[in-house]
Amino acid sequence: MVTPRKVGKYQVGRTIGEGTFAKVKFAQNLETGESVAIKVMAKNAILKHRMVDQIRREISIMKIVRHPNIVRLHEVLASRTKIYIILEFVTGGELFDKIVHQGKLPENLCRKYFQQLIDAVAHCHSKGVYHRDLKPENLLLDFHGNLKVSDFGLSALPQPGVGLLHTTCGTPNYVAPEVLGQQGYDGAAADIWSCGVILFVIMAGYLPFDEMDLPSLYKKINAAEFSCPFWFSPGAKSLIPKILDPNPKTRIDMDNIRKHPWFCKNYVPVKHREHEDVDLNDVHAVFDDIEEKHVAENSETIEGSPLMMNAFEMITLSQGLNLSALFDRGQDHVKRQTRFVSRKPAQVVISSIEAVGKSMGLKVHTRNFKTRIEGISANRIGQFAVVLEVYEVAPSLFMVDVRKAAGDTLEYHKFYKNLCAKLEDIILKPTESLANASLLRTMTC
């Protein structure tokens, strides 16, 4: 197996996310020691699927909308075959995971997240950028619990002479009613509606519009047919209907959201550089394929054994030296990416995973201690896929990273719990995990 482990000044580590056209890997800037996330895309896949303009737009937008509550894009690199997007590494997970774990969140915390979301989205709008896919899965939390907007893949920039947007996109439960129509829509008003749905979800613990079939869902959205639960404060009950107004012309705008008494409570506007210089030279170099600008790739050849996770990765993974986070099998909280640890040989771990996947009637494909399990999602409207990768973290101690590659996140949660139940014989128990965490702490100090 040939695995690129160094790209320019970045030491590349484990995969932390996976999609149809890209993988996201953890990496360390060897010059500064900073942790980053690297989005890796194959040039031939981008060309084959005619995604050059979309990727160029996404990168350019992320360079333009620099803000403390937006995931930062550091730079863009390219080799002969790949494009590397270097992003801020956000350690706190998705807001979606927090909701799944806790249900409804305390109102003061919801207000803080909503204030940060509005600040970030208003900044985008001030730059002429409309996100168009705002939802809790695209809102990350940093180490300090601050919100970061991510995933600008469906974002739109203003076109000369074009007033309204016409592309229907976004996630159905969060999409504004006018986006479903054929008359065109104002991107700012549509984003505000999505922000309102997000506020409702984090305060209620469930969606305001949620039906099994799309026609019924769209009917409820178009009529704004919802009711606030009894535990919402009077201020929240006053603001949310103004945001979830099905008429975009009378829907509350950003300025008036910021003036609303419920929003203003404990509101501290974020400080940032309003006029930060934006350099798009690296974007042009990547997409114009300027060969002398290609970054150097150094690879390691590893045959017959899983990748060894170095101490730096383990410390970052566990957010400090509390390495018990490596062994999170005992937690009820299942994230989109979770992990468990085993003392069984790596080949036994992989064979056990393959057997369980096949017993569930799913397709299983393994290569170099990395297994992809896939099938049709439970609701029959798309593909469901999970990737499991084995890492050696100490002699005879292996960590299995499990991450969703496609499908519904809640379906992934059910799959993960079912998988762990079937792999009980090879997974370290919580008491054993604590002992091994002590061993790892000694190794990394």
Query: Are the C-beta atoms of residues 173 and 217 closer than 8 Å to each other?
Result: yes
Concatenating the DSSP letter of every residue in 273-325 gives: -TT-----HHHHHHHTT-GGGPPPEEEEE--SSPEEPPHHHHHHHTTSS-GGG
Quick one: pLDDT at residue 319? Answer: 45
Query: Which helix (DSSP H) or strand (DSSP E) does residue 390 occupy?
Result: strand 383-394
pLDDT tens string for the chain (445 positions)? 345 578 888 888 877 777 667 788 888 888 888 889 888 888 887 777 777 777 777 787 888 888 899 988 888 888 888 888 888 888 777 888 788 777 889 999 999 999 999 999 999 898 888 888 888 888 888 888 899 988 766 555 554 444 455 455 557 888 888 888 767 778 889 999 999 999 999 999 888 988 777 888 888 988 899 999 999 999 999 999 999 999 999 999 999 999 999 999 999 888 766 666 666 666 666 666 655 556 666 665 555 667 666 555 554 554 443 444 444 443 444 455 578 888 888 889 999 999 999 998 899 998 888 898 988 766 555 678 888 888 887 777 888 888 887 777 777 888 888 888 899 888 876 555 444 544 444 444 3
Q: Where are the domains of the chain?
A: 2-89, 95-148+160-264, 307-444
User: 212-234 burial, b for 16+ CB within 10 Å, e for fewer?
Assistant: eeeeebbebbeebebebeeebee
**CATH 3.30.200.20 given to domain 2-89:** yes
Q: Residue count of the chain, please give it.
A: 445
Domain 307-444: CATH superfamily, name plus number: Kinase associated domain 1, KA1 (3.30.310.80)
Token pair for 92: 């706190």
SS3 state at 324: helix
Which pLDDT value is given to residue 302? 54
Indicate if the alpha-carbon torsion angle 94, 96, 101, 104 is positive or negative.
positive
Do 425 and 433 touch, CB atoms closer than 8 A? no
Residue ranges of the annotated binding site for ATP are 48
And the tokens for 232? 């919402």
* Amino acid 443: pLDDT: 44
| Strand stretches in 30-170, DSSP E | 35-42, 73-78, 82-88, 139-141, 147-149
The token pair at 38 is 């690297």
Residue ranges for the known binding site are 48
How many whole angstroms separate alpha carbon 124 and alpha carbon 400? 38
Spatial separation of the C-alpha atoms in residues 435 and 37, rounded to whole Å? 30
**Residues annotated as part of the active site:** 133
Task: Give the pLDDT score at 244.
Answer: 95
Instruction: Spell out the alpha helix ranges (H) of 333-374.
Output: 346-359
**Placement of tokens 């940060």 in the chain:** 116
* Fold category of 95-148+160-264 in CATH: Transferase(Phosphotransferase); domain 1 (1.10.510)
